[in-house]
Amino acid sequence: MSVTPLLKIEGLKASIDETEILKGIDLEILPGEVHAVMGRNGSGKSTTAHVLMGHPDYEVTNGNVKLDGEDLLEMESYERARAGVFLSFQYPHSVPGLQVGNFLRRSVSAINGEEAAKGPEFRNLLKEGMEQLGLDRSFLARYVNDGFSGGEKKRFEILQMMLIKPKLAILDETDSGLDIDGIRTVAQGVDAAIRGSNSGALIITHYNRILEHVKPDKIHVLIDGKIVKSGGPELANKLEERGYDWIEKEVMANE
């Protein structure tokens, strides 16, 4: 019996200001799988994340995206979030005046229902998550991402992911700007939210450091808006050792 892919992207093309960034992406993630997308700056990694989340600046010009068989591209961003897509931002936006605790309750309530955002179960989950991520209780009274260090921002994104428990977590360079301990902590957070469940994750990264801690099932290499090579975890090591030039040459030779 065939398994319905958690995420299925076919021929996805997207533009911003009439400049085509994604030039035909195909990708399939099965439940319980962790995939990684690697590539140089400007290859379209963050664009992929934003397009999947429905950022209004991007126009999808071709292709389709299904989450659990449902058409994701037909949904507004908040509907995608409620359907189970979570994006951990590379540069999360600050919202001065909105307290972290208040924001978390609103967000969990909007996505998982009012009951999920109150009571001892929520409080315990919050407490455990904060302890695991090394966030002090006073963190809840601070304003969302306002004055946070780079590491605090990333940990806060992961805390949200742990509370929301998405079907599909997209981590856009969550590892950049983190020290080794931070990466390990984030990796534990990803494992806790994804492994052993029917959820999946798409990790977008420059480096293979985070992939040493979150063992991906598949690695995809994105060059100029297209996935040009896919493989197992060994592909990340190869990229670390040899860079991207050899893949580019391979692509050119094939063309």
> Maximum CA pair distance of the chain?
60
* Interface with other proteins in residues 99-128 (CB under 8 A): 103, 106-107, 110-111
Check if the beta carbon of residue 164 is closer than 8 Å to that of residue 133: no
Let me know how long the chain is.
255
Q: Rule CB under 8 A: say whether 86 interacts with other proteins.
A: yes
Return the amino acid letter for 139. F
Check if the beta carbon of residue 254 is closer than 8 Å to that of residue 247: no
- Shortest Cβ distance from residue 86 to other proteins (Å)? 8
* Interface with other proteins in residues 175-194 (CB under 8 A): none
- Shortest Cβ distance from residue 207 to other proteins (Å)? 24
Q: Rule CB under 8 A: say whether 171 interacts with other proteins.
A: no
The SS3 assignment for 162 reads helix
If the CB atoms of residues 81 and 211 are measured against other proteins, the closer one turns out to be: 81
Name which position in 82, 184, 213, 238 contacts other proteins (CB under 8 A): 82
Question: Which residues, 6 or more positions from 13, have their beta carbon under 8 angstroms from its beta carbon?
Answer: 20, 22, 23, 24, 25, 60, 61, 62, 63, 225
What's the rounded Cα separation, in Å, for the pair 236 and 184? Answer: 18
* Interface with other proteins in residues 27-56 (CB under 8 A): 53-56
Name which position in 64, 77, 176, 188 contacts other proteins (CB under 8 A): 77
* Interface with other proteins in residues 130-159 (CB under 8 A): 143
What's the rounded Cα separation, in Å, for the pair 7 and 201? Answer: 10
What is the binding site for other proteins (CB under 8 A)? Answer: 53-56, 76-78, 80-82, 86-87, 89, 92-93, 95-98, 103, 106-107, 110-111, 143, 160, 164
